[in-house]
Amino acid sequence: MWVSASTLFSVRRILGIILAVVLLGGVAAAVVAGGETEKEGKDGEGTATTTVRGVIGSEKAEFFADPEVAKTLAAHGLIVKAEKSGSWAMNERPLRGYDFAFPGSTAPARELARKAGVKGELPRPFYSPLVVAAHRDAARVLADNGLAVLDGKNSGTLKMGAYLKAAESDRTWQELKGGDAHSQLTGTVFVTSTDPVASNSGALYLAAASYAADGGRVAADDADIDRTAGLMRKLIGVQGAQQTSSDAPFRDFVSGAGNPLVLVYEAQVASLLIQRQDVGDLVVLYPDTTVNSDHTLVPLTTEGRKLGRLLSGDEKLRELAVRHGFRPQGATAEFAAATEPHAGHLNQDLNGVRQAPVPTAEVLRKIAQRAKSQ
């Protein structure tokens, strides 16, 4: 059948209009679907997610790798991609392209915030005191020589004044009463810590040690640093090569290798205990002068700030932080309840533990650099 050109033109025009209507309907449907997804997200289900990139201290790597943490964050619209770094080493990294930085304490966080021009209060979702992991024989020898007090089989207090005096005089395990009875205790008595120039725990170790060694004074200038510089060099120099993360020394300790005294975050110990992993003959010594490591998030974008709010305020995320050994800010009951079965290892109320104030970032960096110099 013959069809005129004008008829074909009319048919094509009609089809074009129909197709346009269909396409517009599809776009409208997509917008509606998007709106519904966003609405569902407010209830924590089916929300569209945004990838949030950040750099974190290695002590928080297992927390962010936890599938339940990822699921909870995704319910709030966030997928976190985190890279590990020493807390002080973060200052040397370019921050462009990151949504947040999450070092192990306030001092490096403030430096990062200043560098990035971040204003306002920085979120501090949780904290962890620094403790010394000791093998039982080592803890007993320390106690028998007045360097520690044991509260039971698996916990006690490291007497910082006595320990620092022993370090200053280069005391060896063989010189301590009972030390020669344990073949694994050899050489100079020292606590393994991380590199204070790159790592948060190593720097805070020096903050607590310098405070205790200088009669409870916080270093504020070069003269203060000079008074304890020699001792700080001994604390670091005796260790030889240092790690930039507390993970490796602690893993070595748990496996039975390495030094019998290792500085770690309480969270690392508590996490293993809560997850019912074997900790062997671990004794947790809380230094009578120590530092709480306030894990402080630096939000570099709107998404980073949202993450900080969630970590601080979301009930499920706080519960998961406790599961990984951290103490949520302002809620001691949560940590105490979760760790009650392990009170034989942990000082839940931090009784007998004095918190050393931390010097400014500039002073702390100078202390660390002097300690590392030969």
- Note whether residue 34 is domain-resident: no
- Rounded to an integer, the average pLDDT of 229-251 is 92
- Note whether residue 163 is domain-resident: yes
* Residue 137 clears pLDDT 70, i.e. is over it: yes
Longest dimension (CA), the chain: 114
User: What's residue 234's pLDDT?
Assistant: 96
User: What's residue 26's pLDDT?
Assistant: 39
- Rounded to an integer, the average pLDDT of 228-248 is 92
For 205-225, write each residue's pLDDT tens digit.
999 999 999 999 999 999 999
Report the alpha-carbon distance of residue 127 to residue 327 in Å, rounded.
5
User: What's residue 47's pLDDT?
Assistant: 62
| Of the listed ranges 182-186, 323-327, 370-374, the one predicted with least confidence | 370-374
Q: What is the CATH number of the domain that holds 144?
A: 3.40.190.10
pLDDT confidence tier of residue 289, bands split at 50, 70 and 90: very high
What whole-number percentage of the chain has pLDDT above 70? Answer: 87
User: What's residue 374's pLDDT?
Assistant: 65
- Note whether residue 149 is domain-resident: yes
Average pLDDT, the chain: 86
Q: Which H/E stretch holds residue 295?
A: strand 292-295
User: What's residue 305's pLDDT?
Assistant: 96
Q: Which of 173, 374, 201 is nearest to 287 (CA)?
A: 201
- Note whether residue 286 is domain-resident: yes
User: What's residue 194's pLDDT?
Assistant: 93
Name the domain count of the chain: 1
User: What's residue 213's pLDDT?
Assistant: 96
- Note whether residue 180 is domain-resident: yes
Report the alpha-carbon distance of residue 170 to residue 224 in Å, rounded.
23
User: What's residue 31's pLDDT?
Assistant: 28
* Residue 2 clears pLDDT 60, i.e. is over it: no
pLDDT confidence tier of residue 244, bands split at 50, 70 and 90: confident
User: What is the reported pTM?
Assistant: 0.83
- Rounded to an integer, the average pLDDT of 292-313 is 95
For 175-207, write each residue's pLDDT tens digit.
999 999 999 999 999 999 999 998 899 999 999
* Residue 9 clears pLDDT 50, i.e. is over it: no
- Note whether residue 303 is domain-resident: no
- Note whether residue 39 is domain-resident: no
- Rounded to an integer, the average pLDDT of 297-303 is 97
- The most confident of the ranges 38-42, 160-164, 347-351 is 160-164
In sequence order, the β-bridge partners of residue 78 are: 50
* Residue 130 clears pLDDT 50, i.e. is over it: yes
Give the SS3 label for residue 323.
Answer: helix
Which residue segment(s) compose the domain that 226 sits in? 128-294+341-372
Output DSSP code: residue 188: B
Helices (H), 104-149: 106-116, 136-144
- Note whether residue 330 is domain-resident: no
Q: Which of 309, 301, 293 is nearest to 59 (CA)?
A: 293
And the tokens for 357?
Answer: 């104030």
Q: Which of 87, 83, 32 is nearest to 61 (CA)?
A: 83
> What are the start-end ranges of the E strands in 32-176?
50-56, 78-84, 100-102, 126-135, 148-150, 155-158
User: What's residue 192's pLDDT?
Assistant: 96
Q: 123 near 304, Cβ under 8 Å? A: no
User: What's residue 256's pLDDT?
Assistant: 85
Q: Which of 370, 349, 345 is nearest to 359 (CA)?
A: 370
For 18-35, write each residue's pLDDT tens digit.
444 333 343 333 222 222
User: What's residue 229's pLDDT?
Assistant: 96
What whole-number percentage of the chain has pLDDT above 90? Answer: 69
For 79-108, write each residue's pLDDT tens digit.
999 999 888 889 888 888 999 999 988 989
User: What's residue 13's pLDDT?
Assistant: 45
User: What's residue 87's pLDDT?
Assistant: 86
